[in-house]
Amino acid sequence: MAAPRANMSYRDIKQVVLDRIHNKIWAPDSLLPSEIDLAAEFSSTRTTVNRALRELAEEGYLERKRKAGTRVLNAPVRKAQFAIPLIRDEISETGADYRYALVERAAMPAPGWLSARMNIAQGCEVLYLRCMHYAGNAPFQYETRWIVPDSIPEVLEADFSCSGPNDWLVQKVPFTNLELSFLATKADQPVAEFLDTQVGEPIFTTERITWLRSKPVTLAKLFFAPGYRMTTHL
């Protein structure tokens, strides 16, 4: 078993723990070492280890009890499953024709806020894309997206002129971790122009970050036209 590297992030620690569970190094019903021992092994802080173990417990792999410690569940079950939705399918299900347009494509150094959000080196090259998705002739979704070529180098050769980056990523990258946020934003000038609304209008927005193991892949910010309705079935 390879020795964990120093100064590991909580995502790195999560992956090591998952690998040990899957490889039966930590068998079902077995107790994990204490957070203090794991922090020493991973050259990390106890807070970082706690976050990794807490998320794995929330995802159904571990059971944590005060004073009893953390143990591997006998039959780990993910408490939630999420499939990356394809906007073309969502639009087609409404009966409308799907249409896509690439607005902008540029390779650029990662801005500071993106480096912090995705845990990548500041100035690391990222691919920036702006896209529009239409239901018939009506604007449906305006997309801004950053992709990390260090995690998926072939993206620099991908052609997004006729098909969106989400379609390509779903086919190429089986994501292992996902962070999804729902928020209300106010339309700025570009959003207002593309979604045919007024500057300052409330806009339903989702923000999605995906990783492949510990490698950050993409951050997408999706703005939906006024009147959009999201429905989920669990």
DSSP per-residue string spanning 66-116: TTTEEEE-SS---S----PPPHHHHHHHTTPPEEEEEEEEEEEEPPHHHHH
In this structure, are 134 and 168 located in the same domain?
A: yes
- Asked, for residue 35, whether it belongs to a domain, the answer is yes
Instruction: Give the CATH number for residue 15.
Output: 1.10.10.10
- Asked, for residue 81, whether it belongs to a domain, the answer is no
In this structure, are 94 and 165 located in the same domain?
A: yes
Determine the structural domain holding residue 100 and report its residue range: 87-224
In this structure, are 44 and 122 located in the same domain?
A: no
Please name which of 218, 140, 230 lies closest in space to residue 183, comparing C-alpha atoms: 230
CA–CA dist 136, 130 (Å, integer): 19
In this structure, are 92 and 176 located in the same domain?
A: yes
Question: What pLDDT score was predicted for residue 59?
Answer: 82
Question: What pLDDT score was predicted for residue 102?
Answer: 98
Helices (H), 79-224: 87-93, 112-118, 165-172, 189-194
Question: What pLDDT score was predicted for residue 138?
Answer: 96
In this structure, are 141 and 195 located in the same domain?
A: yes
- Asked, for residue 165, whether it belongs to a domain, the answer is yes
Instruction: Give the CATH number for residue 194.
Output: 3.40.1410.10
7 vs 193, more confident: 193
CA–CA dist 194, 184 (Å, integer): 17
In this structure, are 215 and 129 located in the same domain?
A: yes
Portion of the chain with pLDDT greater than 70, in percent? 91
Contact 221, 143 (CB under 8 A): yes
* Last residue within a domain, chosen from 45, 72, 99: 72
DSSP at 150: T
* Last residue within a domain, chosen from 72, 95, 121: 72
In this structure, are 121 and 211 located in the same domain?
A: yes
Q: In total, how many domains does the chain have?
A: 2
- Is pLDDT above 70 for 188? yes
The residues, ordered by sequence, that sit 6+ positions from 35 with a Cβ below 8 Å of its Cβ are 46, 49, 50, 53
Region 126-150 average pLDDT? 97
- Is pLDDT above 80 for 175? no
Q: Could you tell me the pLDDT band of residue 214, with boundaries at 50, 70 and 90? A: confident
Tokens of 6: 């120093």
Region 81-102 average pLDDT? 86
CA–CA dist 169, 144 (Å, integer): 14
- Asked, for residue 82, whether it belongs to a domain, the answer is no
In this structure, are 107 and 203 located in the same domain?
A: yes
In this structure, are 67 and 160 located in the same domain?
A: no
Tokens of 43: 């050259």
In this structure, are 120 and 189 located in the same domain?
A: yes
In this structure, are 33 and 113 located in the same domain?
A: no
Contact 56, 18 (CB under 8 A): yes
- Of the candidate ranges 112-126, 171-185, 193-207, the one whose mean pLDDT is the lowest: 171-185
Detail the DSSP E strand segments found in 168-214.
177-186, 202-212
Summarised one tens digit per residue, pLDDT across range 21-79 is: 888 899 988 999 999 999 999 988 998 999 999 989 888 889 998 878 999 987 655 44
In this structure, are 209 and 145 located in the same domain?
A: yes
- Asked, for residue 60, whether it belongs to a domain, the answer is yes
Summarised one tens digit per residue, pLDDT across range 121-134 is: 888 999 999 999 99
Contact 43, 13 (CB under 8 A): no
- Asked, for residue 195, whether it belongs to a domain, the answer is yes
- Is pLDDT above 50 for 80? no
- Asked, for residue 194, whether it belongs to a domain, the answer is yes
> How far, CA to CA in Å, does 26 sit from each of 14, 38, 115, 190?
13, 13, 34, 51
- Mean pLDDT over all residues of the chain? 89
- Asked, for residue 232, whether it belongs to a domain, the answer is no
